[in-house]
Every structure is written in structure tokens, then in C-alpha cells.
Amino acid sequence: MTEVYLTHSPEETEAVGEALAAKCEGVAAIAMTGGLGSGKTALTRGIARYFGTRDPVASPTYAIVNEYRGTRRVCHFDFYRLDGEDALFELGWEDYLASGALIVAEWSEIAPAAFPPNTMRVSFETLNDTTRRITVTLC
């Protein structure tokens, strides 16, 4: 099943994140694709907020992964600097998946085969300075 959202601000993108998080029972991961500044981190802020985190959510570009505690732990990955799937597995990817945390990954196209079947796929398209098309494929 595919859903499409149009957002016109980071706040609207965060609200979409909250709505998607409500559909994440049984979902192990959210694999996101989209250009720089397309809204991936804003969506993750909404997801983390849905699960009750009070921590600020920022892109983990240099840390590679940020973890947020709440009613469900959210592990926010940024694959941008990774050299493919081998580098991801060296970080303990399988342990993160086995932990029961919701994995949210930016730049998932760098390691597409690393995701389990119960992965929600989200792609971002920048239509103009403020408008994003977010296409979600539910698992």
C-alpha cells in the first residue's frame, strides 16, 4: 500500500512523521531516500516525538547513529558517509535490528539489501523551496 503526502513546512513534515509512527507496530525499520534538505530529519523528529522522546533530534551525519529513548527506542541512522553494507554491519547493524528498536535510516539507498522485509519505505521529492512530496510504501 502506498500513501502520498504533500508538506509545506518542516512542522507539516514532522506531523507526517507522527502519523507514520502510529502505523509502526510490527515495523522494524523506516528506510528513507531523498536529497539534502528534503525533510528526512524533520520526519524523524515527528517519529521520535510520537514515541515520547524529549531529546532534540538532529541528523546523525557525523555520528552515523543517534538513539532516542521513549515508549519505543528510535535509532536514527545516516548512511551518507558509509561505504556500503559492509560498513553498516561493522557498526552492529544486526544488533540494532534485533533490539526491537525502530530503525530510521536516511540515505537508505546506500545499503538497500540490509533492511528486513518489515521495512516501511519513504521517499522525499523536493518540489520547490517549501513543498515536499513524501511517498510512503507500507509493509
- Answer left, alpha or beta for residue 46, where phi above 0 means left and psi between -120 and 50 means alpha: alpha
pLDDT in tens, 51-72: 999 898 988 888 899 999 999 9
| Contacts with 25 (C-beta within 8 Å, 6 or more apart), sequence order | none
CATH class of 2-137: alpha beta
pLDDT digits (tens, 9 = 90+) for 118-131: 999 999 999 999 99
Strand partners, 124: 134
**pTM for the whole thing?**
0.93
